[in-house]
Amino acid sequence: QERTFIAIKPDGVQRGLTGEIIARFERKGYQLVALKIVHISKEHAEAHYSDLSSKPFFNGLCEYLSSGPVVAMVWQGKNAAKGGRVLLGTTNPLDSAPGTIRGDFALDVGRNIIHGSDSVESAEKEIAHWFKPEELVSWTPVAKSQLYEKP
């Protein structure tokens, strides 16, 4: 099944939104397969956002992501990458619909509290960048037959 990498950024952790965010992914039906709290180096942040290295906000963005603890997670389920982005809301919280994480809890594009992979390919790259293979746990949710139509 599809997996996505989700990270609660330092502002989200400091604001006490970790439980709220995890609850939203859980209630939607996604399955948690990896979870840790980490304070990453600036180099780790630069590699994570390497696609944005030419942007004027790149340095500030990497300072931000490495400024404090981040809650790093892998969530699994049907269309997890695309669906995870729907839970997050748009990049700029000004445009994020109420009911989305950024729409409900953020004001500033530079402090938008959460990261989510933008595609299946990015997800696999990011999972490998943040987690060792043995940190991913494979398990079968009891509720699976209630969440998905029979194949």
Which residues does 48 contact at the CB level (< 8 Å), separation at least 6? 40, 65, 126, 129, 130
Q: How many residues bind ligand GTP (CB under 6 A)?
A: 11
3 binds, among Mg ion, ligand GTP, none (CB under 5 to 8 A by kind): none
Beta carbon of residue 49, minimum distance to Mg ion (angstroms, whole number)? 8
Dist CA 79 CA 38 (whole Å): 26
Nearer to Mg ion, 60 or 144 (CB): 60
Q: Which of residues 28-87 bind ligand GTP (CB under 6 A)?
A: 52, 57, 60-61
- What part of residues 99-138 is at the interface with ligand GTP (CB under 6 A)? 109-110, 112, 115-116, 118
Q: Which is nearer to ligand GTP, 57 or 148 (CB)?
A: 57
Cα separation, 102 vs 29, in Å, equals 19
Structure-token pair, residue 50:
């390497």
